[in-house]
Structure 1
């Protein structure tokens, strides 16, 4: 892999990870068009680094909220009932020293940090089980660009259906977190957008648009870090076959484009503009089915 190929794929990863157009699908198509072997050892090494770049972009954009989550979670360690109380509907927590108070949660407002941490943990359960049960089948799909093109069309349909829920104003709940987690599990299929499927599912469930986007990106962080860890173990077995320059370029480009994509989606979701990405997915999917 050359440095310019790494820059292109890093850009694709950073943008498509957060824009609702499927990063996995675009990486498969990008590697196919660049003539790269998606099963090669250097592909594993590269994936580790660009995923790390996207994780850094989440940490930068949401650093204050992530910091509150960590502080409140640490404070809850001294309050045995805090986690159970945080999950109750109509309650929010506010850290005051080592104690945690509860008061009614405003409709459509941001999810309090301790409860948000629980919701993120809930979404990880179906995602982990899905990967564990279907790992080999999912890996095989990454070598089929035509399947990816078909899945992109499915992503387009999901995005277009958000027009049926123009003004969601509800809040997250444990059940909604489970359903959003199942949507994330379906996005393990290359071509199904993770951000698109999770944001759309939350909107279908009447979750406020901004909160739906924020939750989608925050719940991605442990998934990306977990995937990076797994790929790192593979990298240890296969060794680093990619040069330092392509890895650094790919990581830096993925980080920078990831920050841009997060900011862009935050604005576009609130402007009800997800359907425009649907048309893009339709165009790429249909074109791929015709020419690949």
Structure 2
């Protein structure tokens, strides 16, 4: 890939990783429309690393508090709101982890077509709009319970299907369950940390036997993805209660329509 392709693809990945609009749907467009080459395994690892750095940096204080409280919960202090959140993140990751372990090869082989991505982009976009319109928006993170977390975690596992959007499906589930928009988004982003780390680590294993790694592109991609993802999280959480989900719903429908048009012509 040349310099422009590296920067643009890293920007796309960094922004779409946390917005409810599906990164896989966007990354297929440069290849199908512009004829760009596949970005390769090394670049995938780089942008995953950049996304992980961004979410860890933004939630650094929360992560420190949650981690400390989680370890302290094994002692005399017992359970606190932060330690429970730590456990909820762990339990919420289990369904997606199991899905990745048992279904990864099947999904990679059978569900990575443009037709699947077009369908999921539209269907889950409509579901997001319905959830935002009908959700009661009364609950905060302190109202999380294990059954609610398991439901959100199972929905996160659906994001393995390209076009679904990991952040989109978890925010949708939380809205349906009655959470406020910012609470739904915050938990979605916190829940993304183990999954991004696990998927990035899995991809990195494939680099061990790759002697042709373009380290300049990898480093640049990681930096651009990290910066763009950080600002994406910041502005999304700043404005989500005011703008709601409908702009993203409309965008998903337009994007899905473009993919359908590409399939037709």
Same fold (TM over 0.5): yes
Which residue is 2:123 aligned to? Answer: 154
> 1:166, CA displacement in angstroms?
5.2
| Partner-residue secondary structure (3-state), 1:269 | helix
CA distance in structure 2 between the partners assigned to 1:141 and 1:57 by the alignment? 31
| Partner-residue secondary structure (3-state), 1:241 | coil
> 1:71, CA displacement in angstroms?
1.4
- Verify the 8 A CA contact 2:94 2:153 in the aligned structure 1: yes
| Partner-residue secondary structure (3-state), 2:57 | helix
1:212 to 168, 173, 184: 184
Which residue is 1:106 aligned to? Answer: none
Q: Deviations over 1:138-160 (max 9, x none)?
A: 11256412321111101211221
- Verify the 8 A CA contact 2:22 2:164 in the aligned structure 1: yes
Mapping 1:11-160, distance limit 5 Å: 11-38=11-38, 43-79=40-76, 82=78, 86=79, 93=80, 112-141=81-110, 143-160=112-129
CA distance in structure 1 between the partners assigned to 2:211 and 2:186 by the alignment? 34
| Greater Rg by CA | 1
- Verify the 8 A CA contact 2:137 2:179 in the aligned structure 1: no
Which residue is 2:169 aligned to? Answer: 197
1:291 is aligned to 2:262: yes
2:156 to 184, 200, 216: 184
CA distance in structure 1 between the partners assigned to 2:260 and 2:232 by the alignment? 27
- Verify the 8 A CA contact 2:70 2:84 in the aligned structure 1: no
- Verify the 8 A CA contact 1:168 1:209 in the aligned structure 2: no
When the two structures are superposed, what TM-score results if normalisation uses the length of structure 1?
A: 0.83
Q: Deviations over 1:12-59 (max 9, x none)?
A: 111100110011222233333343454xxx611111111000000001
1:255 is aligned to 2:226: yes
- Verify the 8 A CA contact 1:4 1:246 in the aligned structure 2: no
CA distance in structure 1 between the partners assigned to 2:230 and 2:202 by the alignment? 24
Tell me how large the CA RMSD over aligned residues is: 1.8
Q: 1:143 to 1:34 in 2, by over 3 A?
A: farther
Q: Deviations over 1:74-123 (max 9, x none)?
A: 323434x83xxx3xxxxxx2xxxxxxxxxxxxxxxxxx211111111111
| Partner-residue secondary structure (3-state), 2:115 | helix
Q: Which has the higher helix share?
A: 2
- Verify the 8 A CA contact 2:41 2:206 in the aligned structure 1: yes
1:169 is aligned to 2:139: yes
Q: 1:44 to 1:28 in 2, by over 3 A?
A: same
CA distance in structure 1 between the partners assigned to 2:110 and 2:211 by the alignment? 24
CA distance in structure 2 between the partners assigned to 1:225 and 1:34 by the alignment? 30
